[in-house]
Every structure is written in C-alpha cells, then in structure tokens.
Amino acid sequence: MSKRIYNPFNFKKFSIHQNNAAMKIGTDGILIGSWVNVTKKFRALDIGSGTGIITIMLCQRNLNLELDSIELSASAIMDAKINIENSNWSDRIKLFHQDLKDFHPDSNYDLIVSNPPYFKKSLQPSNSERSKARHQNDLKLEDILKFSNQNLTKDGSLNIILPFEQKKEAIEFAKKHGLNAIRECAVYPKPNKAPHRILIEFSRSENKQLIKESLVIEDAGRHNYSEDYKKLTREFYTIFE
C-alpha cells in the first residue's frame, strides 16, 4: 500500500506539512497555540512539538519570543524541520530531536507549552509511531510538570491542554511539583455537550485567584463556529476574516 500524501495545511501566515508525523493537525494544538498568554514572554519551550505548529503560532503571536522546540519522534521531526524552516520566524526557533528526560537547557524559560499525549487508558493504536504520539509511553504529564518546576523562571508559566476528565488529576500532580493552576478554560464542542478539553495555565504563585473561562467551538451544526472561537483563532485560520 502506497503512503498517503497530505496537502499542506495553510494558515494565514504559514503552512504546515504533515506527511511524516503520526499525529496530524487537530483542534487541540490550535486551541492552546491561540490561548496561551504570550505577553511579556521572551524565552519559551514547546514540549512534544509534533509538526511544530504550536511553536510557529507562538512565534507569530510574540515577535520577541525565542523558542526551543523538543520532539522525540523522528518522523515528526522531519515535518517540524520543514515547517519551521519555511516559516517567517525560523531564526528565533531551535528544534531538538531529544527525549525530555535527557534535555538540559542552559537557562530557564518564562513560558512552557505542551499538547501532551493523553490516551493513557485507551487501547493502543496498532501503528507504533501513532501509539507513542497519542499515549503516555515516552512523555508523561508528571515528567512535564517535574521539568517545568525545575526549569521555569520565578514568574514563568506552564500551559497544557488535556481531556476535561484529567483536570483534577493534573492539578493534584502539579501541586506536588510546586505548580498551581492560575487560569483554566473549559472547552465545549457544542453548547449542549459536556466539556471535552481543559486548557490550564500553571505557575509557582500561591496567591493568584484562579481565573475560570469557557469556550464553545461550534454553535450549531458542523463548521458553524462560535464567535468566541473565531475571535480566539482569527489570526490563524484562513476561513475567518
């Protein structure tokens, strides 16, 4: 069987090639890449960068951001390298083909972002690369939290997206590693559906009041996007003016 060839996914200011990465572009990456607070951030890390989409989005949003991007999968690195080199911000991005456990940065980050694998309780896909990308085999949430505690600046933040049902566990794990939730956004696929994703921003601060947000992706019907979702992602999607 011949390998499927995917057309590049075109955004307003960049394109993403995804012929090699096991995990293709999805709403999760675009959500967190759009939601993260990049104000007054100068040095950032994208953990498990996949095709490099979040890395590139953050560099588009903050023109002062220097960003390290780390990915273990050799196939995903192939796509990420192409996408980063073809972007307008390649001079501010360093791509590392490395396991997080072996990654030792020379200075701390004021922003860490991750769209981690999360299907830890589901059946493993048959494709081994896709399995690694979707399951907590090589990159565990607790590893991300431990690394962030060790490598965030005093006022730095960690931002992740997870299934909504893993919210409580993630917050409890974070507290064990000295990180507290300071902002969260419950994501609803439709107004009449339960939330299926949670975006969480963690920091070392123990005094900040938790900011709670919510977002509905589609108002009614397929591709009938809500005004809030359009506002959040407008600078990326070509379909939103």
Residue 53's CATH number: 3.40.50.150
**Residue 52 to residue 81: CA distance in whole angstroms:** 8
User: Over the stretch 5-14, which tens digit does the pLDDT of each residue have?
Assistant: 888 999 999 9
* Count helices and strands in the chain by DSSP H and E runs: 7, 10
**Residue 192 to residue 76: CA distance in whole angstroms:** 36
Hey, what are 205's tokens?
Answer: 């601060």
Q: Indicate whether 4 belongs to any domain.
A: no
Q: Give DSSP secondary structure letters for 123-164.
A: PPPSSHHHHHHHSTTSS-HHHHHHHHHHHEEEEEEEEEEEEG
Q: Indicate whether 3 belongs to any domain.
A: no
Domain count along the chain:
1
Residues in CB range of 44: below 8 A, 6 or more apart:
38, 58, 65, 66, 67, 68, 109, 110, 111, 112, 113
Q: Indicate whether 113 belongs to any domain.
A: yes
Domain that holds residue 22: 9-233
Q: Indicate whether 239 belongs to any domain.
A: no
Q: How do the pLDDT tens digits run along the chain, 241 residues long?
A: 457 788 899 999 999 999 888 888 889 999 999 999 999 999 999 999 999 999 999 999 999 999 999 999 999 999 999 999 999 999 999 999 999 999 999 999 999 999 987 644 433 444 444 444 443 356 889 999 999 999 999 999 999 999 999 999 999 999 999 999 999 999 999 999 999 999 999 999 887 899 999 999 999 777 899 999 999 999 999 999 8
